[in-house]
Structure 1
Amino acid sequence: MIVHPLTSREVKLARRPDETPRPEHFEIVTSPMPRPSAQEILVRNRWFRISISARLMMSAGAEDIKGIPFPPIKPGDTLADGAIGEVVSAPSESGLQPGDFVSHHCGWREYAAVPLNQCVLLPSGPVNPVAYLGHGWTAYAALTRGVQVRQGDTVFVSSGAGAIGSMAGQIARRLGAARVIGSTTSHTKAEWMKTALGYDAVIVIGSTPIAELLADAAPEGIDVYVDIVGGEHLQAAVEVARQGARFVLLGALTAELAAKGATKVAPVELDSFQLIIKGMTLRGYSADNDPDAFNEWLQHLDEWQQDNGIHLTSSKFTGIESAPQALHEACLGRLKGLVYVEL
């Protein structure tokens, strides 16, 4: 018989960070074991995701940001993010059994009482947390629903070593892209992106204007741009775009990781005349609008892993105490791919 503890630990925001969140902005709190209601299940979390979007959502004024599918975080709140947990108990009519694995959005804690309608039962067998918590499906949806990659396209992915970018470059290739270009802030990451992820070229952001770097990497222009950064990246992509280029905008790290604190404003100056004469399309996109893409992505992932493999990039931390440090390092751009904590 498995005996579960009487308490559970969780991570709360102690005070708002002025700049990059550090471990001292959080506290690990021990609370009584959650008591699920009749329509909830008790889950022991095994893995949970760390997302840099938490930095924006814990900033002052986050409650005024409309349309973002993340709740604002106030001092005293427990953080939350995607998680995979093992069922401890469940209502008899739920069809769930102790030991089943489910995905949900109550991470940053050891145990959680999760509403039944917010849980997804995972297939039996070994669980790869990177496949389910990672942003491969976000990249896949963006490249098949947000825009469509065509045979022979040149694709540019900003923040190409990150959670979305590390997958977008690989997926674009498998969807027919002839040339894939990424960006990063580190020469070490750039070499790794070419050797491990298969990027044809990687531009390293520094003192040289991004438009100049991108023009050198894509002398014939780009057809598709996966924008995760915004700002100068987006401006440069417009300059280098070919006729009929398609842009899918997924994030704005220039705002989320601003040096003086996260902000909901990501201004950029674009030449609208270029948009017109090149017949370009720019689309803001969220994969949450196409949930059917998730299972489709898993099917393709299984196929692609059998055919030369696809690199599921991740940075793993162990223990709930490590979560604040994981967020700190993620916000500083030190990590690769999905950042997650194993409990």
Structure 2
Amino acid sequence: MISTQWHLASRPTGEPTSENVVKVEVELPELTAGDVRVRNTFLSVDPYMRGRMNEGRSYVAPYALNEAMGGAAVGEVIESTVDSLPVGTLVQHQLGWRDISQAPAGQFSALPIVPGVSPSLFLSVLGLTGITAWTGLTQIAHVKEGDTVFVSGAAGGVGTMVGQIARLLGASRVVGSAGSAEKVELLTSKYGYDAAFNYRDGDIAGQLKAAAPDGIDVYFDNVGGEHLSAALGAFNDGGRAAICGAISLYNANGGSGIRNSQNIVTRGLTLKGFTMGNYYFLAPQFAEVMRGWLTDGKIAYDETITDGIDNAFTAFLGMMNGKNVGKAVVRL
């Protein structure tokens, strides 16, 4: 059995290029006791993967050079030596960036078959993007009824979920930023945002002021940089920020130059960064809530699907440059 895999060949400086990765074919060994072999059907590409290409301390280990990169994936068991994961079982795991994954059974989790739901949604609405949005709002920013919520990167996988969940949790006004006029229109027409603006038009602080003239109470940050500075300037007293990502800085080599930081003190603000590794114990609670919302037709979603393992790195670069609407996935 041959597994086509993407390996990290060198660590990028700035934006990754095709010279930093290599697609290789690896002959897999025979299964030993306790092993499972999975044919992947969907792979996830996510912003955090850029950080794993660097060397140094982070919340997740960096990718090793000349080895397969990892990431979330779903697939079907095609060979198994364990009774708990028989052939045909739908599973989720972290051995992405390849078409065939093989490992001890403990690295795979069986997934339920949800009628009418594509397995790819376990990488988005029912998976990491959905639970990240829900956790940031409920556990970090503690959104409450009547809040005005601002979301940066609002048309991405997490952002499209944040706006809807904030509304379902009682927010009175939800505003967002995105990178094109088409995405801005989608936020207000499909995802329940009251107002949105195109950050590429400049003056992010001014556009935020126009979208939220009475200030903001909650900021869900996927972008960092200028967006964080604008949010710090727009916060009402007691504002809370869930710092989820800083995609505008991932390829940067310099500092972020955050402004308005004095408001953290004078307005009694709370800013807290988070990663999902510390909150996965909430997964059963989230799954129950989100499946209910999905069943009731209260959640809209988009997927930007790229076909083929050969195009996985292209899908990653597109996601990093804002080419996706909703969750970016690779379909095999």
Displacement of 1:119: 1.8
Which of 151, 154, 169 in structure 2 is aligned with 1:157? 151
Cα distance in 1, alignment partners of residues 29 and 130 from structure 2: 32
1:148 to 1:182, Cα distance in 2 relative to 1, 3 A: same
Displacement of 1:21: 3.0
Deviations 1:232-256 (A, max 9, x none): 1111111110111111101111221
Structure 2 unmatched runs, 5+: none
**Kindly, what percent of the aligned residue pairs are identical?**
35
Letter in structure 1 aligned against 2:152: S
RMSD between aligned residues: 2.0
Which of 35, 54, 57 in structure 2 is aligned with 1:65? 57
Displacement of 1:207: 5.1
Correspondence 1:246 to 2:235? no
Partner of 1:132: 122
Cα distance in 2, alignment partners of residues 293 and 172 from structure 1: 18
Correspondence 1:104 to 2:79? no
Contact 1:23 1:328 in 2 (8 A): no
Displacement of 1:304: 1.6
1:19 to 1:269, Cα distance in 2 relative to 1, 3 A: closer
1:130 to 1:311, Cα distance in 2 relative to 1, 3 A: farther
Correspondence 1:43 to 2:38? yes
Q: How does 1:9-28 map to 2 (within 5 A)?
A: 9-23=4-18, 25-28=20-23
Cα distance in 2, alignment partners of residues 304 and 125 from structure 1: 14
1:284 to 1:40, Cα distance in 2 relative to 1, 3 A: same
Partner of 1:218: 212
Cα distance in 2, alignment partners of residues 110 and 34 from structure 1: 15
Cα distance in 2, alignment partners of residues 125 and 237 from structure 1: 39
- 3-state SS of the aligned residue for 1:206? helix
Displacement of 1:200: 0.8
Letter in structure 2 aligned against 1:214: L
Larger relative contact order (Cα-Cα within 8 Å, sequence gap ≥ 6): 1
TM-score normalised to the size of structure 1? 0.88
Contact 2:228 2:258 in 1 (8 A): no
Deviations 1:115-173 (A, max 9, x none): 33222111135563343111011101111111211111100000001121111111111
- 3-state SS of the aligned residue for 2:207? helix
Which of 288, 291, 309 in structure 2 is aligned with 1:302? 291
1:213 to 1:124, Cα distance in 2 relative to 1, 3 A: closer
Displacement of 1:98: 0.7
- 3-state SS of the aligned residue for 2:272? strand
Contact 1:8 1:30 in 2 (8 A): yes
1:125 to 1:306, Cα distance in 2 relative to 1, 3 A: closer
Letter in structure 2 aligned against 1:186: S
Contact 1:170 1:310 in 2 (8 A): yes
Contact 2:7 2:22 in 1 (8 A): yes
Letter in structure 2 aligned against 1:249: I
Q: How does 1:1-343 map to 2 (within 5 A)?
A: 6-23=1-18, 25-58=20-53, 62-66=54-58, 68-69=59-60, 71-92=61-82, 94-126=83-115, 128-134=118-124, 135-206=129-200, 208-258=202-252, 263=253, 267-343=256-332
Displacement of 1:288: 2.1
Contact 2:247 2:320 in 1 (8 A): no
Displacement of 1:301: 2.1
Letter in structure 2 aligned against 1:166: T
Cα distance in 2, alignment partners of residues 274 and 176 from structure 1: 26
Letter in structure 2 aligned against 1:169: G
Letter in structure 1 aligned against 2:118: N
Cα distance in 2, alignment partners of residues 125 and 200 from structure 1: 31
Contact 1:317 1:326 in 2 (8 A): yes
Cα distance in 1, alignment partners of residues 29 and 162 from structure 2: 38
Stretch moving more, 184-193 or 298-307 = 298-307
Displacement of 1:82: 0.2
1:290 to 1:53, Cα distance in 2 relative to 1, 3 A: closer
- 3-state SS of the aligned residue for 2:262? helix
